[in-house]
Amino acid sequence: MIRIAAIVPVGALAGAKSRLGESLDAEERQDLVEGLLTRTVTVALTVDGLDDVLVVSPDRDVLHRSADLGARTLLQHSVGLGPGLTEARTDVVAGGADAILVLPIDLPFIRPDAVAAVIAPLSDPGPTVVLVPDRHGTGTNALGLRPPDVIDFAFGPGSRAAHRAAAVAAEAAYVEIDGPLSVDLDTPDDLVYVESIAGEGVGAG
């Protein structure tokens, strides 16, 4: 059986989601992030087919919260999302992972079945890249890789196109998955959109 590890990257809680500053104060943003972290880790731990859930963060409070929920944790020593993911990938590969799923915490509609749909193509033989684009069609909201180093991480502006181009260059199968994970929570517009669907309490655990 293929062994799949989920990597959940989380920044520092202090100052988190600063782009939501127009809509939420610092305490509200921290509460939101804590709720999203709890929800993401809890869901990931229930997904059949995920053999490992690793939270990587430079914030020890994040790691303590994640460990209490039952996840493995890794203190990030580098700076930035890409380097942190590289540290985490090295860790899970050392633990025997055949494939990885990068699962950010800012996906308010995360559900076990939605995560299972993303990792399902990773069971197919051969190099594979599975991507969930954001609702704007430019970003990457979740990324599955088999093997874990089949492509380099390219998160940031235009990451959907960058990840797809990397998959083509690696001659890997490229699969895009739509669904509830296409909604993320990063800007005031995102917050309005999410609350129009879910109502208040978006980040409740």
Domain enclosing residue 24, as ranges? 4-198
At residue 205, the pLDDT reads 42
Specify if 29 maps to a domain.
yes
At residue 134, the pLDDT reads 95
Q: How far apart are CA 154 and CA 114, in angstroms?
A: 23
Of residues 87, 8, 83, the one with CA closest to residue 40 = 8
Of residues 198, 104, 180, 89, the one with CA closest to residue 143 = 104
Specify if 187 maps to a domain.
yes
Specify if 140 maps to a domain.
yes
Specify if 143 maps to a domain.
yes
Specify if 34 maps to a domain.
yes
Specify if 204 maps to a domain.
no
Specify if 205 maps to a domain.
no
Query: Could you list the mean pLDDT of each consecutive 10-residue stretch along the chain, which spans 205 residues?
Result: 96 74 75 92 97 97 97 96 97 98 96 97 95 95 98 96 98 97 86 76 47
At residue 189, the pLDDT reads 84
CATH number of domain containing 128: 3.90.550.10
Q: How far apart are CA 150 and CA 126, in angstroms?
A: 10
Specify if 203 maps to a domain.
no
At residue 113, the pLDDT reads 97
Number of domains in the chain: 1
**The whole model's pTM is what?**
0.93
Question: Could you read off the pLDDT of 127-141 as tens digits, one per residue?
Answer: 999 999 999 999 999
At residue 204, the pLDDT reads 44
